[in-house]
Structure 1
Amino acid sequence: MIARFEGILESISSGSIVIDGEGSLTYEILVPAYTAARLGGKIGQHVKLHTLYYFESQNQGATMIPRLAGFLSPPEREFFELFTTCKGIGYRKALRAMTLDTAQIAHAVANRDIAMLQSLPEIGRRTAETIVATLHGKVDRFLAYTTGESKSSKSADPANVGGSDQEQLDGGQPALENSQSSGAREAIEVMVQLGENRTQVIQWVDQVLARKEKFENIEALIARVYQIKSG
């Protein structure tokens, strides 16, 4: 079993990343959308993922393909495994659905926030209700969880994000004013790497930022854009 993998991040594509193990092996690792967003600025840098090895059925079970899913920390991997215990949520669907981080989804479950869960890609109302019914009371340990990636960065003042004239926010977070500001450009590049159309993404980002909403980080902006996309 492969429990952890580290190396140089070579590329990010829709739903996966490629890591050079600095040896003879280069791996494609499936990642949740929010993890891809956090890794967006780290191409060419050394990264470490905590992994989950599983087999994916294809051709109605005639073929089993080994897959590797990656997470920024063991608790995020644990939450993912818990999330996939819900009826109708397999590994691939869970990876695509998780555009919000562990704590945000856990809070939605704890608060029985069907609307927030329904805003996740591929999660309809019935599935959102199933998630709450299955996981309510089981997510408390994840409510205050912050990813290792976030812990290593200084946090930005939420009051400054989205409505500031600064190009760089306090704590080093890029400004999020419009699609031309540094933080928004980074978010756009991440979503393009995830397979979205650049022109459409720019329109979505401008639409979100025109509302003068406050975002704690780039990942929150990306999550809001995906909410707009899902209608």
Structure 2
Amino acid sequence: MIVKISGVYAGLSPKGLLLDVDNITYEVCLTSFSRERFQTRKTGERISLHTIYYIESSLAGGHQTPTLIGFEDEADKDFFQLFTSVAKVGVKTALAAVTIPISAIAEAIEKPDVETLKKLKGIGERTANKIIASLRGKVAAFAAASGESDDAGGGRPEPGIGNEALQVLLQLGYNLGEAKRMIKETVSKNHNILTAEELLEEIYRSKARSF
């Protein structure tokens, strides 16, 4: 099973992107949101993607095509697997439906916010309610995923550091809203934070100074 692939970005394809790996070009499927982000990326850049290996069947059932689905952030991959575990939300539906950051989808599930979920491509009210019923309480840690954020300056943060920090804060007893607020405020004031450990240390220092 292929769980990660690295190579040279060779441009977009109808379903995602093309990746050159040792003289072989792979097509890797992307969510609608990820594909849109890659429109501004330069070809020739070396990238790594966390992948899901998926066998796509034709409607007639006679033809099966091996497919790779790629994610720059492993947390996005984990969320996608949870999302597709919901009845009536298959891989094809999920790839088309993820038109906004995964953190925003997770937040809509946790609130819950049916209207935001209904705006996702192919998701109606019945499916939106089913998603909430199946995943609410399971995706809070994804609501502050930072792998989807643009680099705000300084160094480039490691993918998912906001997600990692959020999980720690939730385990310490902070509620989702408070934890997200602390992460957002800390990152906005400290653009050179590169890891979850640095982010948490700065949050703890800020809390100590407030006493």
- TM-score under structure 1 length normalisation: 0.63
CA distance in 1, matches of 2:40, 2:7: 15
Alignment partner, residue 51 of structure 2: 51
| 2:2 is the alignment partner of 1:2 | yes
| Higher alpha-carbon Rg | 2
Identity, in percent, stands at 34
* Structure 1 position 24, deviation (Å): 2.1
Is structure 2 residue 79 aligned with structure 1 residue 110? Answer: no
Spell out structure 1 runs of 4+ moving beyond 3 A.
none
**TM-aligned CA deviation for residue 110 of structure 1:** 0.3
Q: 2:152 aligns with which of 154, 158, 162?
A: 154
Alpha-carbon contact 2:53-2:68 (below 8 Å) kept: yes
Following superposition of structure 1 onto structure 2, how do residues 20-169 of structure 1 map, counting pairs within 5 Å?
A: 20-21=20-21, 23-44=22-43, 45-147=45-147, 150=149, 153-154=151-152
**1:9: how far off?**
1.3
Q: Aligned to 2:39, what secondary structure does the other structure show?
A: coil
Deviation, structure 1 residue 28: 0.2
Amino acid in the other structure paired with 2:89: I
Q: Give the superposition deviation at 1:61.
A: 2.3
CA distance in structure 2 between the aligned counterparts of 1:125 and 1:85, rounded to whole angstroms: 18
Q: Which has the higher contact order (CA 8 A, sep 6+)?
A: 1
1:49-100 deviations in Å (ceiling 9; x for gaps): 1111011111432222110000011111000000001111111110110011
1:38 is paired with a residue of what secondary structure? helix
Q: Name 1:190's counterpart in structure 2.
A: none
Name the amino acid aligned to 1:150: S
Cα shift at 1:101: 1.4
Distance 1:139 1:61 in 2: 33
Runs of 5+ consecutive residues of structure 2 not aligned to the other structure? 154-211
Q: What is the TM-score normalised by the length of structure 2?
A: 0.68
C-alpha separation between the residues in 2 aligned to 1:15 and 1:55?
15
- Alpha-carbon contact 2:114-2:125 (below 8 Å) kept: yes
What secondary structure sits across from 1:6 in the alignment?
A: strand
SS at match of 2:107: helix
C-alpha RMSD over aligned residues: 1.7
